[in-house]
Amino acid sequence: MDIFLQILLFTVGLVALIKGADWLVGGSVSLAKRFQIPDIVIGLTIVAFGTSAPELIVSFFSALSGNSDIAVGNVVGSNIANILLILGAASVIFPLSVHSNTVWKEIPLTFLSALMLAFVALDTFLGSGITTAFVTRGDGLVLLGMFCIFMYYVISSARKGDSVVDEEELVVMGTGKTMLFVFLGLVGLAVGGYLMVESAKTLAAMAGISQQVIGLTIVAIGTSLPELATSVVAALKKKSDIAIGNVLGSNIFNILWILGLTAAISPVPVAPGMTFDILFMVGVTFLLFVALHLGKKHSLDRWQGAAFLLLYVGYTISLFVRT
């Protein structure tokens, strides 16, 4: 009976987290529109931060409660799922054509952020003989510094008209409704994040599964649902830029902003068992770059999307085999 209760709590937490992020984005966008902030800036800041809010809250609560495997696993697992699961599903629905600017700038930036995570998380394993590495406060500040540079690049590109944002979602609401959405969003994020972390920790213990695997799979996929919904809808609307831009931006946010902020507040331990998964994330990011040069240039075709999905299934199975 207890396991069903924990599953229920996890589900309630997930729904509260996703709806909380949705409400907070809606209220914040409405508020920003009232102050006549340009749509492109709103899309690249408020909306982007909002879709990454579930990962941020879960990683933050996990780190504070000492469940670092969930915190790191959530970020690494989300990035892997974003490329293999989300882009795989989106490109199966509709082949994604990618602009040259994205291929040669945004994807290398995503790969660089993955390499930075590998460096700060795994450097102490190299010849040190210790069993646990840390993403230290200093590492967190470096990641946040890189995030500021990334945001400067994004906003500069937007001003030049190089970036695309879906302005259909930028809606203005009444003052009362706006404030209500912001309040409900904050409450939903706080309550949902707490319930998800605590129930995930309990489920891992009850099922005899490591918190690392829970973080890399169930929690990672759950917190990636906003990105999945956005990219699938964009693919159905044949808006390739939004579908792939959403994933790339989310992956950079997850590492530079979410893990950077979490580590800056409280150093995050990285268990040795996470080494393969972090390196796999780096490899998957590079694979995306390579895939865009196979077959039709600068395009992610249906067969490649199907291959991504199969690779994700294989990776997920390997997690349970390794534990």
Q: Range with the lowest mean pLDDT among 143-147, 212-216, 239-243, 247-251?
A: 239-243
Q: What is the average per-residue pLDDT within 278-301?
A: 87
Closest-CA residue to 120 (of 247, 256, 253, 249)? 256
Calpha distance 227→58 (Å, rounded) = 16
Domain ranges of the chain: 2-322
Q: What is the average per-residue pLDDT within 14-29?
A: 80
* pLDDT tens column, 31-51: 777 766 665 556 556 666 776
pLDDT of the residue at 124: 57
pLDDT of the residue at 237: 73
Q: Choose between 160 and 284: higher pLDDT.
A: 284
For residues 236 and 94, is the Cβ–Cβ distance under 8 A? yes
Binning pLDDT at 50, 70 and 90, where does residue 183 land?
Answer: confident
pLDDT of the residue at 84: 94
Domain 2-322, CATH among 3.40.250.10, 1.10.10.10, 3.40.50.300, 1.20.1420.30: 1.20.1420.30
Taking every pair of Cα atoms in the chain, the longest distance, rounded to a whole number of angstroms, is 60
Average predicted confidence (pLDDT) for the chain: 80
* pLDDT tens column, 77-136: 999 999 999 899 989 988 888 776 666 778 888 899 999 999 888 765 555 555 567 888
For residues 63 and 268, is the Cβ–Cβ distance under 8 A? yes
pLDDT of the residue at 315: 94
For residues 204 and 213, is the Cβ–Cβ distance under 8 A? yes
pLDDT of the residue at 112: 92
Q: CB-based burial of residue 105 (10 Å sphere; 0-12 exposed, 13-18 middle, 19+ buried)?
A: middle
* pLDDT tens column, 220-272: 887 787 777 777 777 777 777 767 877 888 888 889 998 998 888 888 888 77
pTM, rounded to two decimals:
0.83
